[in-house]
Amino acid sequence: MRLIRELIEKKITLYNEFMGLRFYRRAIWNFYCAYNLSLAFLNQKMDIVDIKKRHIKWVEFLEEKDNHSLNQIQKFIEEDMQIVYLALNNMVKINENEGGELGDLYISGTIGMSAFEFYQS
Amino acid sequence: MKEINSLVMQMAEWKFGGYSSSYLGNDLYFFYEAMNLLIADVGEEWLEREMEKEGKNWQEIKLRLQKLKKTILRVKMFYDPIIDKKFSKKELKKSDVQNMFESNFEESIQRLPLIESDLYETIIFLLKKTMMGSRHIGVDAFRVLEHQGMRKLDKTSNERKNRENII
């Protein structure tokens, strides 16, 4: 779980960085990597029609590099960002319920407890 | 949770580091390699059995992945010389070879799907079912591509080091 979260977070930070630097191709690609990871994590599938819409705009942008297709892709990104947030929120919730993974001793409501109390709870 | 050999986990970590610090198809190459490493350790039979429990057919996915692999390798073939600047010259005009590499690279990216399900689902499935999922990618793993190399060699001589220590 931790590794998936790290991968998504890294891709999203790269997306932000490249958007700021106006490397749009790399930014869009990185965002959709994070999106793919989140979709797979949530066990969801996208409609073929929606996939095609995005792919057509992507190819259009690669060929012409115009503002029109970029704006449309950015609209898609705004829609798809919700899935990424959902995946990240789910991971945080699962981590809290499970009490973390190896080496992480955080369980909600156990801060300040001694070690022997921790095992009894 | 299926256990994985620690050496394989370490190697896979580097691949994931490469995946997350790269882009435009080159990242998928590292992702594919990480998947291959994990499958080699876990075994295809185990993967097939586990996937069947969740209603997925590994053999079908495998065929689709092999098609994807061809495109990924094609992208990688053109990506490397562009990044290494093997054919670029300091002159203002671009050389024909460089133009050829760039146009072929752009053409092959278009063939890569922006939203890919098979590769990602297989990797996430493996990460959820094995100990690999709880690993953490070290900072060094990200540095492989970002800084072109694991770490810089310390070129200062021992004599100089000793001298500095005395001072």
- Picking from B108, B114, B122 by the largest number of A CB atoms within 10 A of its own CB, the best residue to mutate is B114
The pLDDT score that the predictor gives to residue B98 is: 80
The pLDDT score that the predictor gives to residue B59 is: 94
The C-alpha of A106 sits at a distance from chain B's nearest C-alpha, in angstroms, of 15
Q: How many CB atoms lie within 10 A of CB A40?
A: 24
Which ipTM was obtained for this model? 0.81
Q: Which residues pair with B2 in a beta bridge?
A: B130
As a whole number, mean pLDDT of residues B16-37 equals: 91
Closest CA to B1 of B36, B31, B37, B42: B42
Q: Which two tokens stand for residue B35?
A: 């998947």
pLDDT digit string, tens, across residues B132-156: 888 888 877 776 666 554 444 455 5
Say whether B47 sits in a helix, a strand or coil: helix
Give the integer Cα–Cα distance in Å for A11 and A16.
9
As a whole number, mean pLDDT of residues B103-120 equals: 89
Closest CA to A30 of B28, B54, B143: B28
pLDDT digit string, tens, across residues A72-113: 999 999 999 999 999 999 988 887 776 555 455 555 666 666
The listed range with the strongest mean pLDDT (A62-66, B65-69, B99-103) is B65-69
Residue predicted with more confidence, A91 or B94:
A91
The pLDDT score that the predictor gives to residue B153 is: 47
Residue predicted with more confidence, B9 or A98:
B9
Size of interface A-B (CB pairs under 8 A): 84
- Picking from A13, A36, A51, A56 by the largest number of B CB atoms within 10 A of its own CB, the best residue to mutate is A36
The pLDDT score that the predictor gives to residue A121 is: 44
DSSP E strands, chain B:
none
Backbone angles phi, psi at B2, to 5 degrees: -80, 135
CA distances from B155 to B104, B161, B166 (A): 40, 10, 19
CA distances from B103 to A82, B94, B167 (A): 34, 12, 57
Residue predicted with more confidence, A33 or B3:
A33
pLDDT digit string, tens, across residues B38-59: 999 999 999 999 999 999 999 9
Q: Is the pLDDT of residue B80 over 80?
A: yes
Closest CA to A37 of A86, A92, A78: A86
The C-alpha of B3 sits at a distance from chain A's nearest C-alpha, in angstroms, of 14
pLDDT digit string, tens, across residues B59-77: 999 999 999 999 999 999 8
Q: Residue B132: which residues within 8 A CB-CB, separation 6 or more?
A: A3, B4, B9, B12, B38, B126
Q: How many CB atoms lie within 10 A of CB A74?
A: 14
A-side interface with B, Cβ within 8 Å? 1-4, 6-7, 10-11, 14, 18, 25-26, 28-30, 32-33, 35-37, 39-41, 45-46, 51, 54-55, 58-59, 62-63, 101-102
pTM score, two decimals? Answer: 0.82
Closest CA to B61 of A40, A1, A87, A4: A40
HEC assignment per residue over A24-92: HHHHHHHHHHHHHHHHHHCCCCCCHHHHHHHHHHHHHHHHHCCHHHHHHHHHHHHHHHHHHHHHHHHHH
